[in-house]
């Protein structure tokens, strides 16, 4: 097997699968895709509801954790990150949200030329095979099948009607002209099965002779000579190998592992590198800074009728559901993490929603591990869409085997705290409306005793979790402090790019997987343009 390629892609997750497909498509370039995990072979990967079985499985999940921080009462917060070909698209809730046009216009305003909404829309459309596509904003025929959730229980419709009673609009396509309102989530599924990035982009092209896929291959560092990336050192099944590149090394390892690899290669803040025992090759203080994630609280209610997933996933009900899914690919096993969406403005002067809701007719005894209650219940996740708080992701040791130190710095600003508190209050108001009377029992958490803003904030501090939308740690920009430029090239190093969620200057308003697909599609286009 050759050890020399035109392009070496580090990370076989969401972005890596797209890049491998697009860069190898012409047959002109040799491409290597390096993935630390394996092919996602568990049957739980294909079953949408199987994500709950994979969240704690080290074969499919890096199982990262945050550092204890005072703002979240010194709790260690679990941070799932997908491991294997397909990355987090193997274990996520499959929710597909582009974000708001002003997210991308904001990137362009910050100096990221070529990243306005008008610029990125063609790449969003290139991704999509949306079965309800209409108008100029949506598309059919792309690699990724998208559909609106098909299972629509009466309690979900009641929640939408309650939102309307509270003054919010119904919206059947939040990826269309407006994000505001309530409706059913769109997911990357086909015929009741999860469609991961690997299934959509990699599986159809695995046999291309110019594409080499290396699994169980942990990249250790980027090789640098004379200010240029020349290859990657990796360990595959205990054997150290070196891959050399003719054109570029492309980091697509995500918001935790891309900055980690840069720092292990001597690219980063000199003070951080020296403390970890790494020689400074190129000073780039922005590496690992600007960490952004969505912080989410989960409000729970007891439900007065046996119509929730809590009881449907036990005993004979579960047996029937398994048989239904096996025969028809329908039923409760097609559910992900959200049934009904809500996008709200907590202030009337905002130009777009600043809070997102996730309604599911299930409640959790352990939300982090998705262990369901035994009695009927429902959960509404509440997250602020555009947090101002910024954290860090840095190495603490000179080896890839030591996980990065993750400091989210959640709830660090007054606006973040206000938006979370107001979002939870508005959620309680929706559930209090008459259409929910037939289902609404007592509020389990935070409970009716929670009334003051201080009560709400304390609940958020004590119970909030990340919803796994890590981004920003290799920030794109036109200023000297940015890690990557608008072409996604690492500043000060030739032949090296980052193409994943870490390049986001600010986080998008919603689940991040759609934006990562777009970033990878646009990144591949930028790379191929430079190759001409």
Active site residues: 469
CA-nearest of 481, 441, 447 to 463 is 447
Tell me 77's DSSP state: P
**DSSP conformation letters of 102-171:** HHHHHHHHTT-TT-SHHHHHHHHHHHEEETT--SSS--SSSSEEEEE-S---HHHHHHHHHHHHTTPPB-
How far apart CA 487 and CA 108 sit, in angstroms, is 13
3-state secondary structure of 327: helix
Encode 173-188 in three state secondary structure.
CCCCCCCCEEEECEEC
CA-nearest of 297, 296, 407, 403 to 68 is 407
Pairing of strands 78-79, 239-251: unpaired
CA-nearest of 90, 62, 92, 64 to 78 is 64
Contact criterion met (CB below 8 Å) for 357 and 174: no
Phi and psi at residue 359, in whole multiples of 5°? -100, 130
Angle at 106 between CA 100 and CA 109, to 5 degrees: 155
Phi and psi at residue 283, in whole multiples of 5°? -75, 120
Binning the chain into helix, strand and coil, the percentages to the nearest 5 are 30, 25, 45
Residues with Cβ within 8 Å of residue 118, at least 6 apart in sequence: none
Pairing of strands 144-148, 78-79: unpaired
Give the DSSP H/E element, type plus range, for residue 261. Answer: helix 254-264
How far apart CA 101 and CA 468 sit, in angstroms, is 22
């Amino acid at each position: 097997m050759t050890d020399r390629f035109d392009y070496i892609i580090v990370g076989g997750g969401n972005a890596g699968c797209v890049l491998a497909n697009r860069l190898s498509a012409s047959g002109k370039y040799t491409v290597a895709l390096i993935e630390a995990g394996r092919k996602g072979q568990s049957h739980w990967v294909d079953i949408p509801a199987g994500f709950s079985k994979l969240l704690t499985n080290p074969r499919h999940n890096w199982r990262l954790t945050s550092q204890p921080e005072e703002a979240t009462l010194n709790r260690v917060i679990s941070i799932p990150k997908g491991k294997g070909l397909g990355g987090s698209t193997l274990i996520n809730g499959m929710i597909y949200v582009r974000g708001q046009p002003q997210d991308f216009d904001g990137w362009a305003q910050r100096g990221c030329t070529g990243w306005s909404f008008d610029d990125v829309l063609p790449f969003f459309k290139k991704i999509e095979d949306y079965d309800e596509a209409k108008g100029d904003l949506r598309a059919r025929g792309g690699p990724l099948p998208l559909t609106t959730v098909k299972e629509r229980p009466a309690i979900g419709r009641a929640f939408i009607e309650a939102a309307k009673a509270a003054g919010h609009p119904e919206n059947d396509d939040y990826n269309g002209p407006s994000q505001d309102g309530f409706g059913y989530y769109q997911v990357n599924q086909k015929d009741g099965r999860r469609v991961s990035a690997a299934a959509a982009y990699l599986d159809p092209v695995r046999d291309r002779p110019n594409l080499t896929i290396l699994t169980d291959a942990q990249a250790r560092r980027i090789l640098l000579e004379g200010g240029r990336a020349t290859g990657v050192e990796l360990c595959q099944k205990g054997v150290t190998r070196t891959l050399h590149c003719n054109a570029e090394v492309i980091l697509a390892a995500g918001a935790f592992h891309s900055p980690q690899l840069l720092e292990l290669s001597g690219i980063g803040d000199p003070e951080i590198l020296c403390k970890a025992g790494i020689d400074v090759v190129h000073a780039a203080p922005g590496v690992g800074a600007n960490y952004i994630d969505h912080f989410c609280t989960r409000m729970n209610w007891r439900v007065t009728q046996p119509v929730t997933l809590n009881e449907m996933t036990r005993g004979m009900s579960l047996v029937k559901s398994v048989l239904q899914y096996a025969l028809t690919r329908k039923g409760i096993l097609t559910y992900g993490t959200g049934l009904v969406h809500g996008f709200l403005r907590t202030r009337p002067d905002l130009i777009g929603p600043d809070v997102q809701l996730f309604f599911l007719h299930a409640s959790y005894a352990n939300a982090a591990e998705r262990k369901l209650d035994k009695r009927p219940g429902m959960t509404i996740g509440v997250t602020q869409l555009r947090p101002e708080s910024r954290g860090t992701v840095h190495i603490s040791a000179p080896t890839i085997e030591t996980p990065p130190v993750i400091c989210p710095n959640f709830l660090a600003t007054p606006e973040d705290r206000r938006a979370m508190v107001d979002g939870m209050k508005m959620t309680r108001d929706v559930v209090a409306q008459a259409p929910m009377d037939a289902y609404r029992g007592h509020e389990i958490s935070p409970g009716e005793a929670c009334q003051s803003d201080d009560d709400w904030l304390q609940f958020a501090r004590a119970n909030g979790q990340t919803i796994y939308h890590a981004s920003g740690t290799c920030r794109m920009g036109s200023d000297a402090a940015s890690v990557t430029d608008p072409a996604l090239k690492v500043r000060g190093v030739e032949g090296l790019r980052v193409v994943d969620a870490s390049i986001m200057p600010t986080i998008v308003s919603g689940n991040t997987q759609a934006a990562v697909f777009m970033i990878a599609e646009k990144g591949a286009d930028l790379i191929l343009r430079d190759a001409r």
